[in-house]
Chains A and B, each alone.
Chain A
Amino acid sequence: MKRLVIYFFLWWCFSGSAFSQSARSGEMHGSQGLAVTEEILTELDLPDWCWAGAHIYEEVERNFRLVDGELLDTYFGKLPASGLNDPQHILDDEQRQVIEELIAAHDMKSALPLYVNVLAHGQKMALSEDDVKSKLSGMFKEKNAMVIFYYYGYSRGVNGYVMLDEQGFIEGWEVDELFLKSARDASLQVGGDAQMESFVREFSKRSFWLEQKLITPVRAEKNLPTNEHGKSNSSGSWDDFMETVRSHSLTLVLAFWALAAGAWYFLWSRKWRKFILPQGEVPTRLGADNGANVSHTIEFSDATVSLTDQYEKAQSREL
């Protein structure tokens, strides 16, 4: 009976009920704990074919390990320069690079910088929400930020916070929707390891609307003096133009020099360049010292004789 139970247990494990297939490694991961598994297996007198290709190791992700102590400090210590914080090295180098690029692309366009903390699926923090908030406040010190806690392998379990310098933590259905819908879309679009990348991309896109709502544009419209028809006078466009010029000064200077060099070369070759005809001994003929060439001539006596006719005549003469 005992043996039957054990065989059933093994079948249950290998058929996927208790094991999950990782797309990243292509290996079987147990979820019952290494010690228990080993204990059970040693009691068994399994045939050799059962062991062929089998590897037993503990999968940390499934153990609901508590994030505390030093590990906790790594999440609430210094601000990560790249915006990505993965102290447990859950992501591989390639994934890390992709996520960092996405964060950088987001930060370039947005006034709400993105910070992504990566945790393993099923992990829990040994902090209450208030503690997390107070730690984040200490970290960001009244800066704008969107902080994500992403549980790798389960995008729908994501949570996070949006902070604005003066207002502190922003709450409301828009923020909830931002996280929920980004997670939902990511899980619908792709599966496996690409889900996090998809989530960050979706989140970055969706955060635009939140940013529009929360943050007043830096360059607000000016209160220009208006004429009697209520239309603003056009002096603003000059300021805009000058601002554009200032912001692109290096490009403009380079373009100017490139154009100047081009113009100088054009003028030099067309107007100033000296063409020197080489001189020396050349064969003479017909008793002439200077030249004895004969070229085709053109007639202009009759408008009905076209240049084409004359060209064809010259060609046939050459033949």
Chain B
Amino acid sequence: MNLWFVWLEMKCPECLERIHDHAEECPHCGMTLERLSSAYEGLELEVHDGVHDVAGVLKLETRKQMRAAVKACEKQFEGVSVAVSFVALRNEQTLEAYGFYLMNLGEFFRGSVWQTEMVDGRGRVILVVDVEGKRVGLSYGYYFDGHVREKENFDVLSAGHASLLEGEMVTGCEQILISLKGLLKKAVTRANAANAVKTKKGVKR
């Protein structure tokens, strides 16, 4: 099946099997957020100005550069927040599960202001870069369910592939964020359209 026709699936972040959109735990591996916490305990979860660097790859200058790129990416959106996380995962840890973990348990700050209560986390997108396993992926909040296609997601990540292969993490992430902006525009437009249809149906009833 061509990925263009595939919407981002609801899958278990641990075993990557499909799950129901109301599943309280994974029917395949029994994973829940609570059970996952033990595997990722001890990781720094504070994300400042959209940049999270537990792998320690960013210097002062490149951190600023990364923050500017995040800000530019989310500038045109309301209700959307973007973050980038650099992490060095251990063997038993997976990029998908880590993205899921950070998405739900991360502490997000804008300057010195704690954002977690102020900004709806369901409109968040996190770019996760595993500097050890050399993998990169995106985690989306619930509001993007059914509005992002796998092909689009793949294309966004592909934008930074060449730079990441060269070891230029910051440049690669910047390129991904520029491309992500386009994807978010499409996703938000689709979400608005779906919302309008839902409202129309509600009014009819």
A275 and B80 in contact, given A291-B142, A311-B154 (Cβ under 8 angstroms): yes
Question: Which A residues are CB-close (under 8 A) to B137?
Answer: 295-298
Asked if A5 lies at the interface with its beta carbon under 8 angstroms from chain B, I say no
Asked if A10 lies at the interface with its beta carbon under 8 angstroms from chain B, I say no
Cβ-defined contact, A297 with B135, below 8 A: yes
Asked if B55 lies at the interface with its beta carbon under 8 angstroms from chain A, I say no
Cβ-defined contact, B25 with A314, below 8 A: no
Map CB proximity to A onto B113-138 as digits: 1 under 8 Å, 0 otherwise: 00000001111100000000111111
- How far apart sit A289 and B6, CA to CA, in the bound complex (Å)? 24
Map CB proximity to B onto A282-300 as digits: 1 under 8 Å, 0 otherwise: 1111111111111111111
- How far apart sit A318 and B16, CA to CA, in the bound complex (Å)? 11
Asked if B184 lies at the interface with its beta carbon under 8 angstroms from chain A, I say yes
**Total A-B contacts with CB atoms under 8 angstroms apart:** 178
Question: Which A residues are CB-close (under 8 A) to B189?
Answer: 275
Cβ-defined contact, A315 with B2, below 8 A: yes
| Chain B interface, DSSP helix/strand/loop, else mixed | mixed
Give min CB distance, B100 to chain A, whole Å: 6
Cβ-defined contact, B185 with A275, below 8 A: yes
Task: List which B123-176 residues lie within 8 A (CB) of chain A.
Answer: 123-124, 133-145, 148, 150, 153-154, 157-158, 161, 164-165, 172
Give min CB distance, B81 to chain A, whole Å: 10
Interface centre among A274, A294, A315 (most CB of B within 10 A): A294
Question: Which B residues are CB-close (under 8 A) to A277?
Answer: 77-80, 123, 143, 188, 191
Asked if A109 lies at the interface with its beta carbon under 8 angstroms from chain B, I say no
Task: List which A20-59 residues lie within 8 A (CB) of chain B.
Answer: none
Cβ-defined contact, B142 with A287, below 8 A: no
Which of B141, B153, B165 is A290 in contact with, Cβ under 8 Å? B141
Question: Which B residues are CB-close (under 8 A) to A303?
Answer: 165
Task: List which A265-319 residues lie within 8 A (CB) of chain B.
Answer: 271-280, 282-301, 303, 307, 311, 314-315, 318-319
- How far apart sit A288 and B25, CA to CA, in the bound complex (Å)? 10
Which of A288, A290, A301 is B133 in contact with, Cβ under 8 Å? A301
Question: Which A residues are CB-close (under 8 A) to B157?
Answer: 296-298
Asked if B33 lies at the interface with its beta carbon under 8 angstroms from chain A, I say yes
Give min CB distance, A319 to chain B, whole Å: 6
Which of A285, A289, A291, A315 is B20 in contact with, Cβ under 8 Å? A285
Asked if B26 lies at the interface with its beta carbon under 8 angstroms from chain A, I say yes
Cβ-defined contact, A286 with B161, below 8 A: no
Cβ-defined contact, B136 with A297, below 8 A: yes
A278 and B33 in contact, given A291-B124, A297-B135 (Cβ under 8 angstroms): no
Which of B26, B96, B145 is A297 in contact with, Cβ under 8 Å? B96
Question: Which A residues are CB-close (under 8 A) to B16?
Answer: 294
Give min CB distance, A112 to chain B, whole Å: 62
Question: Which B residues are CB-close (under 8 A) to A272?
Answer: 76
Asked if B10 lies at the interface with its beta carbon under 8 angstroms from chain A, I say yes
| Chain A interface, DSSP helix/strand/loop, else mixed | loop
Which of A286, A289, A318 is B19 in contact with, Cβ under 8 Å? A286
Cβ-defined contact, B135 with A292, below 8 A: no
Which of A273, A276, A291 is B103 in contact with, Cβ under 8 Å? A291
Give min CB distance, A282 to chain B, whole Å: 4
Cβ-defined contact, A284 with B78, below 8 A: no
Map CB proximity to A onto B1-20 as digits: 1 under 8 Å, 0 otherwise: 11100101111110010011
Cβ-defined contact, B123 with A294, below 8 A: no
Question: Which B residues are CB-close (under 8 A) to A279?
Answer: 79, 120, 122-123, 143
Give min CB distance, B151 to chain A, whole Å: 9
Asked if B93 lies at the interface with its beta carbon under 8 angstroms from chain A, I say no
Question: Which A residues are CB-close (under 8 A) to B150?
Answer: 295-296, 314, 318
Chain A residue nearest in CB terms to B20: A285
Cβ-defined contact, A289 with B23, below 8 A: no
Cβ-defined contact, A293 with B23, below 8 A: no
Can you give 12 contacting A-B residue pairs, CB < 8 Å? A272-B76, A276-B78, A280-B195, A284-B22, A293-B10, A293-B141, A293-B145, A294-B13, A295-B140, A300-B135, A307-B161, A319-B1
- B binding-site residues for A, Cβ under 8 Å: 1-3, 6, 8-13, 16, 19-26, 31-34, 76-80, 95-96, 99-100, 103-104, 120-124, 133-145, 148, 150, 153-154, 157-158, 161, 164-165, 172, 184-185, 188-189, 191-192, 195
